[in-house]
Chain A
Amino acid sequence: MAEKKRIELMVCTGTGCYAGGAYQIIDGLNKELESFGLRDEVTVVATGCNGFCGQGPLMVVIPDNIFYGWIEIKDIHHLVEEHFLKGRPVKRLMFKPPEEKEPLPLLSDIPFFKKQLLVVLRNKGIIDPEKITDYIARDGYLAIERVLSSLSPKDVTDEILKSGLRGRGGAGFLTGKKWEVASQQVKTPKYLIANCDEGDPGAYMDRSVLESDPHSVIEGMCIAGYAIGSTNGFIYVRTEYPLAIKRMRIAIEQAEEYGLLGKNILGTGFDFEIEIREGSGAFVCGEETSLIHSIEGNIPKPRQRPPFPAQEGLWCCPTVINNVETLANVPVIITRGAEWFSSIGTETSKGTKIFSLVGKINNTGLIEVPMGLTLKEVVYEIGGGIPKGKKLKAVQTGGPSGGCIPASMLDSPIDYESLQKAGSMMGSGGMIVMDEDTCVVDVSKFFIQFTNDESCGKCVSCRDGSEAVLEVLTRISDGQGREGDIEFLTELGESIKDASMCGLGQTLPNPVLSTLRYFKEEYDAHIKEKRCPALVCRNLIQYYIDPNKCVGCLLCIKSCPTEAIKGESKYIHIIEQEKCHKCGQCLEVCPPKISAIIKITGNELNNLVQLTEIISCKEWKKDHEYS
């Protein structure tokens, strides 16, 4: 009797889970399934990123849709025996929301997945990205089939235009419009480039698209090529994305083998080839003109636009450059129609957007949501709120080009215009959640440090301007802020925006300007009172031992690298401020039950008891018992 396949284990092998040992888990599963004689009934499928990266390594059991997270090798024997042999799902490995007693067995019950709408990531976790037939089974290459058999290039461009699809790489330009410009150029050949440089710190949307569904990008590229009259496509991926490159390479080979890429695609006479180009990884390489220089083998520095690449791009030929996520939208728009697509989202922003949700949030991972969802829904429903009962302070979107949106504006819908109006931008989809322990001066400093490092140096405004901004921010966080700094930052920021040639310079002041707009009082506190309200800026904080709490256990002394702590067993310890380097070690080791060490800022120390000599805990208690 041939055993019928009854269960599929969709094991995530995205970069996060891969690093967490997903392939060891797969080996372990196969071994155990083998030894229980279940190999025919239960099969393991390696998928791309499931999205709930914070729970990885993870798997989803099909057809029940049971979600198992944080799987360890030692769990596998039990799991296989209990669930797959005896048929009893294992509660211990299911997702349990913090503060809840019972786990949520089904993926569809987990709030993280509930408000998501999968358009681009329609195949994530459902297909094996290294198997073209999995993609084909999910209506893959149906769009190119339609396009080549019944649509003219103009029909295709019009359909994309009508859908309202806008670029997902940052600026939000109408994709159909861009294609139209390129298709109207007389000069040939024409080129198509998929941009997967993804240099924003913390962002990994595009990488995930390539890792989980590379064929959707290939198909989108083919369609774009057909629409603009190009037979040559490049996909530009940063070298730091080896898994994405590997899967893309496999996908290209398979598509060629099946006649879905290369010469005479599907016997229709249309030719289209795709080459992978690996990028050096500098942030500015993602800028379109600079990326084009890089493919040409020149130094990747931006150039003045116009002419725009659609007019004059790669090797001076008309070139459409689109973001990977933009292109992955294209096949679904063709198969399901522009009308369907434009029914999702808001007036001006159609479809969905993928975000990498990171920072001070309970559920971290990759999410795809319809445009127009509010930040509140993302943070509290999908993200599950802020850990440890802390308060939300701001949400940062748009990476180094974006800004901080304060908690008070959480009802803002997520779309291109609203984010811009709030002083941030959509960007490519990084979303960093910040809690009350985040200092806005420190955050601004981090982003300006990044853009200052990444500036190509061509424009004075960007190169020297970012340097000057960084200097002032550093001074402010060091407690050397001066009257007039805020005005100076504002003016300088505006002039950097105006005078810089490419998007990097034009947007680099955003993190500073947006925090000045919403958190001016925090800058004031740093400058005027030498106080860091979030207790982050090292030079503005002190560590202090509360004599009413210290039990004299010596732990902090042992941890202090600079011998800044005085004390003896059962004596109240004292931190000598002049010697303290503010490493925070002592605070870490002081037992949580006691929590005698606190951080303070500004002149708070003056209002606290400052011991000069150590005194035994007993004596201190006696003296203070009745006071």
Chain B
Amino acid sequence: MPKLTIDELKKMRENSRKEIYLREGNFRGKVTVHMGTCGIAAGAREIMNSFLDEIERRKLTDIMFTTTGCAGLCSEEPMITVEMEGSAPVKYCKLTNEKVKKIFNEHIIEGNVVKEFALGIGSERVG
């Protein structure tokens, strides 16, 4: 490790920030995947992975990704809730990888709810 100059230190700080961004908690949105036993059976893990891929591909550090238990609507699984800062949470159901891509582009990036897949808007908050 060669000794740092001021500029190198600055660069290192930027890079290190990306390593620990999860801990900073500066998120403008939150995606929750429902992983009840039914959810897991219905492919929630696959949906989760597609989300993580999208986050990774776009190098986003301001979207929090988390999981929770069953949402009580087994027939609609796999299901997620998207909560963007300042707007009501939206539940999306019966997800597929294609749907995830669309939700990501339109809702998370551009801020427009994908009404055709939405189960309900303004449902209960996800803990």
The answer for the CA separation of A65 and B64 in the assembled complex, in Å, is 11
Complex CA gap A436/B89 in Å reads 50
Query: Contact: B5 with A87, CB < 8 Å?
Result: no
- Asked if B9 and A145 make an inter-chain contact with CB atoms under 8 angstroms apart, the answer reads yes
Report chain B residues within 8 Å CB of A134: 16, 19-20
- B52 near A6 (CB under 8 angstroms)? yes
Contacts of A186 in B (CB 8 A): none
A105 vs B68: C-alpha distance in the bound complex, in angstroms? 12
Complex contact B67–A87 (CB within 8 A):
yes
A126 lies within 8 A of B1 (CB):
no
- In the complex with contacts A87-B33, A260-B4, A64-B20 CB distance below 8 A: no
Q: Which residues of A111-165 have CB atoms within 8 Å of chain B's CB atoms?
A: 126-127, 133-134, 136-142, 145, 148-149
Report the minimal beta-carbon distance from A25 to chain B, rounded to whole angstroms.
Answer: 19
- How long is the Cα–Cα vector from A145 to B4 in the complex, in angstroms? 11
Find chain A residues with CB under 8 A from B65 CB.
6, 63
Could you tell me the distance between the alpha carbons of A310 and B52 in the complex, rounded to whole angstroms? 56
Contact assessment for A266 and B25 in the assembled complex, using a CB-CB cutoff below 8 Å: no
B20 with A127: CB separation less than 8 A: yes
B68 touches A63 (CB 8 A): no
Q: Enumerate A1-36 residues with CB–CB distance to B below 8 Å.
A: 1-8, 10
B27 on the interface (CB 8 Å rule)?
yes
B106 at the interface (CB under 8 A from A): no
Q: Which residues of A contact B4 (CB under 8 A)?
A: 258-260, 266
Least CB distance, A85 to chain B, in whole angstroms: 9
**Interface: A86 (CB within 8 A):** yes
With beta carbons under 8 angstroms apart, the residue of B6, B36, B44 that contacts A268 is B6
Contact B6 A138 (CB under 8 A): no
| Total A-B Cβ pairs within 8 A | 103
Q: B69 touching A87 by the CB < 8 A rule?
A: yes
Taking a contact as CB atoms under 8 Å apart, the answer to whether B68 and A88 are in contact is yes
* A5 to B19 CA separation, bound complex (whole angstroms): 10
Other-chain contact of A88, B12, B52, B55, B69 (Cβ < 8 Å):
B69
Q: Mark A46-75, 1 if CB is under 8 A from B, else 0.
A: 000000000000000011110000000000
Q: Please, which residues of chain B bring their CB within 8 A of the CB of A127? A: 20
| B68→A3 contact, CB < 8 A | no
Q: Does B122 contact A (CB under 8 A)?
A: no
Does A623 have its Cβ within 8 Å of any Cβ on chain B?
A: no
Instruction: Indicate if the CB atoms of B25 and A63 lie closer than 8 Å.
Output: yes
Across the two chains, which residue of chain B brings its CB closest to A135?
A: B16
Residues of chain A within 8 A of B69, CB atoms compared: 87-89
* C-alpha gap A360/B41 in the complex (Å): 49
Q: How far is the CA of A10 from the CA of B25 in the complex (A)?
A: 14
Is A4's CB under 8 angstroms from B33's CB?
Answer: no
Task: Given A89-B68, A267-B5, verify A133-B16 contact (CB < 8 Å).
Answer: yes
Q: A1-B49, A105-B127, A257-B1 given as contacts; is B13 within 8 A of A8 (CB)?
A: no
Instruction: Report if B125 contacts A (CB, 8 A).
Output: no
* Bound complex: CA A65 to CA B37 (Å): 23
Q: For A126, A133, A142, which residue has the most chain B Cβ atoms within 10 angstroms? A: A133
Q: Which of B13, B23, B36, B67 contacts A62 (CB 8 A)?
A: B23
> Which A residues are CB-close (under 8 A) to B24?
126
List residues 1-34 of chain B with CB under 8 A from any CB of chain A: 1-6, 9-10, 12-13, 16-17, 19-20, 22-25, 27, 33
A4 touches B127 (CB 8 A): no
B70 to chain A, nearest CB (A): 8
Contact B40 A86 (CB under 8 A): yes
B68 adjacent to A87 (CB under 8 Å): yes
Q: Determine if B3 and A258 form an interchain contact, defined as CB atoms under 8 angstroms apart.
A: yes
User: In the docked arrangement, what's the CA distance between A65 and B10, Å?
Assistant: 28
Which residues from chain B contact A139 at a C-beta distance below 8 Å?
13
Min CB–CB distance A479 → chain B (angstroms): 58
Looking at A89, A137, A258, which has the most chain B CB atoms within 10 Å of its CB?
A137
By a CB distance below 8 angstroms, the chain B residues around A63 are: 22-23, 25, 27, 64-66
- A135 vs chain B, min Cβ distance (A): 9
Beta-carbon contact of A65 and B68 below 8 Å: no
Docked pose: A87 CA to B78 CA in angstroms: 13
In the bound complex, CA of A5 to CA of B18 (Å): 12
**A127-B19 Cα distance, complex, nearest whole Å:** 11
B68 touches A1 (CB 8 A): no
B84 to chain A, nearest CB (A): 16
Q: B20 and A137: CB pair below 8 A?
A: yes
In chain A between 241 and 276, which residues have their CB closer than 8 angstroms to a CB of chain B?
257-260, 264, 266-268
| B9 pairs with A266, CB closer than 8 A | yes
- Structural contact, A149 and B6, CB atoms closer than 8 A: yes
Closest to A141 in B: B9
Chain B nearest Cβ from A350, distance in angstroms:
26
Does B116 reach chain A (CB closer than 8 Å)? no
What chain A residues lie within 8 Å of B35 (beta carbons)?
86-88
- Is there a chain A Cβ closer than 8 Å to B56's Cβ? yes
Q: Which residues of B contact A64 (CB under 8 A)?
A: 64, 66
In the complex, the chain A residue whose C-beta lies closest to that of B30 is A63
User: In the complex, what's the smallest C-beta–C-beta distance from A346 to chain B, in angstroms?
Assistant: 30
Q: B53 on the interface (CB 8 Å rule)? A: yes
B42–chain A nearest beta-carbon distance, Å: 13
Q: In the complex, what distance in Å separates the CA atom of A106 from the CA atom of B25?
A: 13
Contact residues, B32-77 vs A (CB, 8 A): 33, 35-37, 40, 44, 48-49, 52-53, 55-56, 64-69
Contact check: which of B9, B20, B52 meets A138 at CB < 8 Å? B20
Give 24 CB contacts A-B under 8 Å. Answer: A4-B55, A6-B22, A6-B52, A62-B22, A63-B25, A63-B27, A63-B64, A87-B44, A87-B67, A87-B68, A126-B23, A127-B20, A136-B16, A137-B19, A141-B9, A141-B13, A142-B13, A145-B10, A257-B3, A258-B1, A259-B2, A260-B9, A266-B5, A267-B6
Using CB atoms and an 8 Å cutoff, list the residues of chain B in contact with chain A. Answer: 1-6, 9-10, 12-13, 16-17, 19-20, 22-25, 27, 33, 35-37, 40, 44, 48-49, 52-53, 55-56, 64-69, 127
Residues of chain A at the chain B interface (Cβ within 8 Å) = 1-8, 10, 41, 62-65, 86-89, 105-106, 126-127, 133-134, 136-142, 145, 148-149, 257-260, 264, 266-268
List 12 additional contacts besides A64-B66, A259-B5; criterion CB under 8 Å.
A1-B53, A6-B65, A7-B22, A63-B22, A86-B67, A126-B24, A136-B16, A137-B16, A141-B9, A259-B2, A264-B3, A267-B5
